[in-house]
Structure formats: structure tokens, C-alpha cells
Amino acid sequence: MNTLRLLLLVVHILGLSVLIGPFLFQVSRKAGFDTRLMLVGAATQLVSGVALVGVRQADDLEVNNAKIAVKLVVALLAFVSVVLAARKQRAADAGAADAKAPLPFFHSAGAFAIANVLVAVLWT
């Protein structure tokens, strides 16, 4: 079970890098965001995070439920922000919306992802 937990942890960290990496790469843009990788990273973070908690509980390891609840809410906010940014970007690409329409959703997705890292590391 420990091997599965470690494998899920690696997948979780890779999901984090796929979410935050493209955000940091594109953060100075004002329009034309590519959110495909961020969407994959956010989904990976959610699924692997829930699986990590399940494996820890199945192994009778300690789980800080308050911390996990906060992380889940922040991860859901990041995921929803990425989905909204992707929808707004598609609309902007089709000419149906302003080119800057995805900007607040894109930035909030990155901010939520970074906030989740801070919660994970600083909440002891």
C-alpha cells in the first residue's frame, strides 16, 4: 500500500507542475491563453488528491480532515477557474467574446493552485 501511496504522490506532484507550469509561462500574456495543460493538471490534482486521502485512510494513517477539506475546496475552485478560462478562451478565439475575457479566470486558477501549495506546505 505504501508503494501505491508514493506513486499517487508522484502523480499528484506531476499534476501540480502541469497546472502551475503553463500558468507561470503565460502569466504575462493579456490574451491568447492555452489552458489545455492546466485543465489536465487541475483534474490530475483533484483525482490523485482524493485517491491519496483514500489510501492514507485505508492504511490507517493519520489524516488532517480540516486541512484536506480546505485543500479540496481550493482545488475545486482552481479546477472551475481553469474550466471557465478555457470556455472564455474558446469564445474569444471564435470572436464571440473579448480577447481579455479569460484573464481573470486564468489568473484566479493560478492563484488558487499556488494557494493550495501554500496550504499543503505551511499547514502543519
* DSSP secondary structure letters along 33-47: ---HHHHHHHHHHHH
pTM: 0.93
Domain residues for 27? 2-122
Say how many CA atoms lie within 13 Å of 120 toward its Cβ. 17
**Using DSSP, how many helices (H) and how many strands (E) does the chain show?**
4, 0
Q: Which amino acid is at 3?
A: T
pLDDT tens, N- to C-terminus, the chain (124 residues): 899 999 999 999 999 999 999 999 999 998 899 999 999 999 999 999 999 999 999 999 999 999 999 999 999 999 999 999 999 999 999 999 898 999 999 999 999 999 999 999 999 8
In three-state secondary structure terms, 61 is: coil
**Tally of domains in the chain:** 1
